[in-house]
Amino acid sequence: MLAVELKLEDAVKGIRPVDGEWRRRAREHLNNLAIPVGSLGRLLDIAEQLAAIKESLKPSVGKKVVVTMAGDHGVVEEGVSTCPREVTLQMVYNFVAGGAGINALAGAAGARVVVVDMGVAGDLKELVEQGKILSRKVDFGTRNMTRGPAMTRQQAVQALEAGIDIAGDLVREGAELLGTGDMGIGNTTPSSAVLAALSGLPVRQVTGRGTGIDDETLDRKVRVIERALAVNRPDPQDPVDVLAKVGGFEIGGIAGLILGAAYYRVPVVVDGFISTAGALLAKHIAPQCVDYMIAAHRSMEYGHRYMLEELGLQPLLDLNMRLGEGTGAALAMCIVEGAARVIREMLTFEEAGVARNKSREYAV
């Protein structure tokens, strides 16, 4: 894929809210389907959203792509994870081999998986040259955010613009539905830090166990995040500053992918905790991009509920998942395609020759 560079500020200027008139038209059509009104529940809400995004009463989302962004984190030096740093690199090879959770679930959804090296602390040139992954590497992992910013502001913008460009490339190749995914040992730590910085919530309230840390390690993780916030003092009114001070390269890439999806008017299914940290940053950069987001699932990571509340999104699934990679997004894509088929393929009362149901509209 050849990137067509789009600057962050130009992408933000080009994102417009979903057209309310298309929502109205979609709702009217859905209320005329030959079923008891509202009987397909939230599928109808998703169908309405898809129709409004695509500006069509026959939206198609058959060409699905999950983008799994990978990056390492200097903060793992502080002992915030049960896994060693090299697992990030090893998992990239597992993705390429087709042996990871995202491969299995994307296969079930009929989705392609695109793996992106945003900042893995290792050499992946061989996989890049073989065309098995994309490289938008900003650096070989972020710096330890307890000692200063995780990255420079320029690197934060670079990560965001990489995600925007990847979205554009995929849309030009025909992608109709995007999904976010992540891989990065220790990345629940910067994700919690991003949430705390943007929301003002106490660190302990938004910090979970990640890969399964014990109580002692959880306490350390909370202290590490508190120290990083105190040292860096990220500006909650400046999401790029938050990303630079306490974020991660893959988190920035995910935020950029979401911004790019909104710019190119393609729905994007947001995975779990790390992906939603990216979604929060995207919202604070361009609030109207939320119109294009679909929350895949509610993560077991405790802070995820606060992210979803701030975004105003209700997740499609609640399966006690916390793997990441884009696994929740892949599963949710099956539901999203079902919603698209409802509005695209079902007949109205008139078309089906069925007597009209007199129940109320599913939404007003």
Mean pLDDT of 11-21: 98
Let me know whether 106 and 243 are in one domain. Answer: yes
Same domain as 35, residue 103 = no
Q: Which amino acid is at 188?
A: T
Residue 4 lies inside a defined structural domain of this protein = no
DSSP state of 347: P
Examine the pLDDT at 324 and tell me if it is beyond 70.
Answer: yes
Q: Is 244 part of a structural domain of the chain?
A: yes
Q: CB-based burial of residue 102 (10 Å sphere; 0-12 exposed, 13-18 middle, 19+ buried)?
A: buried
Judge whether 321 lies within some domain. Answer: yes
Whether this prediction's pTM lies above 0.85 is answered by yes
What is the predicted pLDDT for the residue at 356?
Answer: 84
pLDDT at 66: 99
| 31 in the same domain as 172 | no
Q: Is residue 2 part of a domain?
A: no
- Do 73 and 48 reside in the same domain of the chain? no
Q: Domain range spanning residue 263? A: 64-341
Collapsing DSSP to helix, strand or coil, 225 comes out as helix
Question: Which range has the worst mean pLDDT, 128-142, 198-212, 243-257?
Answer: 198-212
345 is catalytic: no
pLDDT at 4 over 90: no
* pLDDT of res. 3: 45
Answer yes or no: is 362 within a domain: no
**What tokens were used for 70?**
């990978």
**Do both 141 and 29 map to the same domain?**
no
Residue corresponding to tokens 């014990």? 214
pLDDT at 111 over 60: yes
Do residue 118 and residue 193 come from a single domain?
Answer: yes
Distance between the two ends of the chain, CA-based, in angstroms? Answer: 43
The answer to whether residues 30 and 90 belong to one domain is no
Q: State how far the Cα of 110 lies from the Cα of 147, in Å rounded to an integer.
A: 43
Output the domain CATH number for residue 29.
1.10.1610.10
pLDDT, residue 2, reads 45
pLDDT at 211: 80
29 and 161 share a domain? no
Do residue 39 and residue 187 come from a single domain? no
* Sheet with 64-71, side-by-side order of all strands: 134-135, 111-119, 64-71, 177-183, 268-270, 293-295
Q: Which residues of 296-329 are buried (b: 16+ CB within 10 A; e: fewer)?
A: bbbbbbebbebbbebbebebbeeeebbbbbbbbb
Are residues 213 and 335 located together in one domain of the fold?
Answer: yes
The pLDDT assigned to 57 comes to 98
For residues 285 and 279, what is the distance between their CA atoms, to the nearest angstrom?
10
Question: Domain for residue 242, yes or no?
Answer: yes
pLDDT band (50, 70, 90) for residue 5: confident
Residue 135, pLDDT > 70, answer yes
Instruction: Say how many domains are in the chain.
Output: 2
Would you say 26 and 51 are in contact if contact means Cβ atoms under 8 Å apart? yes
pLDDT of res. 96: 98
Average pLDDT over residues 266-281: 99
Q: Amino acid identity, residue 52?
A: A
Query: Looking at residue 72, which CATH number applies to its domain?
Result: 3.40.50.10210
What pLDDT score does 360 carry? 60
The reported pLDDT for the residue numbered 218 is: 95
Residue 228 lies in a domain: yes
Residues 152 and 15 in one domain: no
User: Could you say which of 325, 345, 351, 361 is catalytic?
Assistant: 325
Mean pLDDT rounded to a whole number for the chain: 96
- What does 161-203 look like in DSSP terms, one character per residue? HHHHHHHHHHHHTT--EEEEEEE-TTTHHHHHHHHHHHH---H
The pLDDT of residue 189 is: 98
Please tell me whether residues 114 and 161 are part of one structural domain. Answer: yes
In a domain? residue 48: yes
